[in-house]
Structure 1
């Protein structure tokens, strides 16, 4: 009884501390101490074994995915330094018109994140440009924040096949699948998220306009507007700006495409069997292309690459900390009872996957953290139950992208902080597009898979 109460108290403490802006690593260390103490886990085992080096240990995860995070951080930085990221945003704005500001925000964020640009870099790219969009279209800031969240943190993160996102790579590495596993289900779910999300945001915009709610600038807007490209600044065109992203995706697609044509080679087998290394190589290839194509990057590549490494460290540490938290939680009797209950439910296995991955991601407020914990603790049981690795890859990814965006999510807090908004101001719309709609899309994918398989 005390052990289960301590587990619940530790989970609640983590959420409470995260919501109050406490550093996530510090919050995790305090929370696992409470959990470990109440579950009679030796302190040395908590901090020197389960948290750092277990199957779901923080350092185990960081060691396995360090290269991917670094390459992603570098690619994001060179895309920003080359002005290619801004070039994509400005070109799409010119083509669609500022009156379609919400569509612009969603599409640009989706293009950049699907191509491998780090989410936080995308936020910093879109917000300065978004200030003028919000002003000209008179869009409430809360809705623009939700459009960024929709484009950067939903369907390109968990649904669309081929992306070098950490979520896609975690599943591929643990299940022995490739980045295209369950592809058509992912595409279907991604379309549902994008269409329903934009329908909701456009509907809310019309309602806001009818109620007299409009754009209200704050100090953050004035600061960020100064970072937007000057009107006389020469930016690369859309095609040139997209070439590095195309290079990343083409590198990832190449082994699968050659396999489809019956071509086999040693490097191809390596690429398909090493998703972390191959996705990292693809991001590095995109960075090198930026170096070749864009003068601003050539002038200061070493500095920009170093900044990219710095960009990668905080997300890596935060994600690893959450996973290390899970590494302690899965040692408790309460978690094993919870897992046994999930696996014992008299429901189809894919529906059980949907429920379990969602709940774990909700507890950790991290899709990547929840997915890694799910893969190391529950996925083997589903494989034994007969779920195909490809289906498990995509359904688990989709499910992990549901409850991950609860109020204590680091990405949600970062977006609100960046834009100078509070949970009261903007979380309702973010919740709809990043929690409710992804859950609907994931559940629809489960039902279709059950009907067809």
Structure 2
């Protein structure tokens, strides 16, 4: 009984500390101490075994995915330094017009994240551009933040096949599938997330206009606007700016194309069995193309590469810390009882996957953290229940992208902090587009799979 109360108290404490702006690593360490002590786990095992080095330990995760995070950070920073990221944004802006600013924000974020730019880099790329968009189109800051969250943290993260996101790679690595596994279900869910999410944001924008809610500048805006391209500064065209992203995606998909035509080779087998290394290689290839195509980045490539590494470290540490929190949680009897209860529910196995992956991601407030724990602790049982690895890959990914964006999510906190917003001001809109709608999309994908399989 005390252990179960400790689990609840530890999770509640983590959420509370995160909401109060406490560093997520510090919040995790305090919370795991509460959970460990109330569950009679030796302190030395908590901090020297389960949290850092267990199967779902922080350092275990960081070691396995360090290269992918570093290459993602490098590619994102090189895209920004070359002005290719801004070229994508401005090109789509010219195509759609500033009146469609929310759609532009979603599309640019989606293109960048689908091409491998890490979410945190996308946030910093979009905010300077967003200052101009918000001012020109009179968009409330809270809605622009939600548009960024929709484009960067939903369908390109867990749904669209082929994305080099950490979530897609975790599933591929754990299940020996490729990054395109369960692709049609992912496409279905992506259309629902993007369509319903943008419908909601446009509806809220019109309501804000009727109520006289305007864009209000803050102190951050002037500073961040300085990071945007200077007026009159030449930018690469949309086609050229997209070239590195297209190359990244083409590199990832190439082994699958070759396999479909019957070509077999050692490197192709390597690409299929090593999704972390292959996705990292694809991001390096994209970075190299930026170096070749864009003179601005050649002048500061070493500096940009170093900044890219810095960009990757904080997301890696925060994600690893939350996964380490889960690594302690799964050592408790309460978690094992919870897992057994989930597996024993008299519901279809795919529905059970939807429920369990959602709840675990909610506990960790991280889709990648929840997915890592799900794959190490529950996925084997679902495979034994007869779910195909490719289907489990996609459904688990979709489900993990539901409750992951609760208030204590590191990405949510980073976005609100960057844009100078509070949870009270902006979290409702972020919740709708990153929690409610993705959960609905994932459930529809589950229903479609039950009908078709």
Smaller-chain TM-score range? over 0.9
Q: Which residue of 2 aligns with 1:5?
A: 5
The residue that corresponds to 2:144 in the other structure is 144
TM-score scaled to structure 1, two decimals?
0.99
List aligned pairs for 1:375-390, cutoff 5 A. 375-390=375-390
Match of 1:368 in 2: 368
Match for residue 87 of structure 2?
Answer: 87
Matched, 1:122 2:125: no
User: Any idea what the Cα deviations from partners look like across 1:31-57, whole Å, max 9, x if unmatched?
Assistant: 111111111111111111111111101
Following TM superposition, by how much is the alpha carbon of 1:245 offset from its aligned partner in structure 2, in angstroms? 0.3
Q: Secondary structure at the match of 1:22?
A: coil
1-side partners of 2:12 and 2:209: how far apart? 39
Q: Does 1:330 align with 2:359?
A: no
Per the alignment, in what secondary structure is the counterpart of residue 56 of structure 1? coil
Q: Aligned to 2:447, what secondary structure does the other structure show?
A: helix
* 1:245-256 correspondence to structure 2 within 5 Å: 245-256=245-256
CA distance in 1, matches of 2:356, 2:172: 19
- Once the two structures are superposed, what CA deviation does each residue of 1:31-86 show, in whole Å capped at 9, x if it has no partner? 11111111111111111111111110111111100100000010001000000000
Deviations 1:129-160 (A, max 9, x none): 11111111111111111111100000000000
- C-alpha distance in 2, partners of 1:222/1:304? 23
What residue in structure 2 maps to residue 340 of structure 1? 340
Deviation at 1:418, TM superposition (A): 0.6
Q: Deviations over 1:280-327 (max 9, x none)?
A: 000010011111111121112111111111111111111111111111
SS at match of 1:169: helix
How many residues are matched? 453
- The residue aligned with 1:275 is 275
Q: Which runs of 4+ in 1 moved over 3 A?
A: none
User: For the residues of structure 2 that align with 1:244 and 1:66, how far apart are their CA atoms?
Assistant: 22
Is 1:239 aligned with 2:239?
yes
Q: Could you tell me which residue of structure 1 aligns to residue 437 of structure 2?
A: 437
User: Is 2:394 the partner of 1:426?
Assistant: no
Alignment of 1:256-295 (within 5 A): 256-295=256-295
Aligned residue runs from structure 1 range 291-330, under 5 A: 291-330=291-330
Give the Cα separation in 2 of the matches to 1:66 and 1:97.
39
SS at match of 1:160: coil
The superposition leaves residues 219-265 of structure 1 with CA deviations (integer Å, 9 ceiling, x where unpaired) of: 12222112211121001110110000011000000000111111111
Which residue in 2 is equivalent to 1:51?
Answer: 51
Alignment partners' CA distance in 1, 2:385 and 2:139 = 49
By how many angstroms is 1:10 displaced? 1.2
Query: In the alignment, what sits opposite 1:229?
Result: 229
Which ranges of structure 2 fall in alignment gaps of 5 or more residues? none
Tell me the distance in 2 between the aligned counterparts of 1:41 and 1:422: 36
How far apart, CA to CA, are the structure 2 residues paired with 1:27 and 1:420?
Answer: 21
Please report the TM-score for the alignment, with normalisation by the length of structure 2. 0.99
Query: Counterparts of 1:300 and 1:426 in 2: how far apart (Å)?
Result: 37
SS at match of 1:184: helix
- Once the 2 structures are TM-superposed, how far is the Cα of residue 19 of structure 1 from its aligned partner? 1.2
**Structure 1 residue 209 displacement after superposition:** 1.0
1:176 paired residue number: 176
- 1:109 maps to what in 2? 109
**TM superposition shift of 1:333:** 0.4
Q: Distance in 1 between matches of 2:223 and 2:302?
A: 27
The Cα shift of 1:90 comes to 0.7
| Cα drift, residue 443 of structure 1 | 0.3
**Hey, what does 2:61 align to over in structure 1?**
61
User: Offset at 1:217?
Assistant: 1.3
* Distance of 1:96 and 1:231 partners within structure 2: 20
Provide the rounded CA distance (Å) in 2 between the counterparts of 1:180 and 1:266: 20
Is 1:157 matched up with 2:167?
no
Question: d(CA) in 2 for partners of 1:196 and 1:20?
Answer: 31
Please report how far the alpha carbon of residue 352 of structure 1 lies from its aligned counterpart in structure 2 after TM superposition: 0.4
- 1:172-192 Cα offsets, whole Å, 9 max, x none, are 000110000000100110011
SS in structure 2 of the partner of residue 180 of structure 1:
coil
Deviation of the 1:8 alpha carbon: 1.3
| Helix, strand or coil at the partner of 2:36 | helix
**1:356 Cα deviation from its structure 2 partner:** 0.5
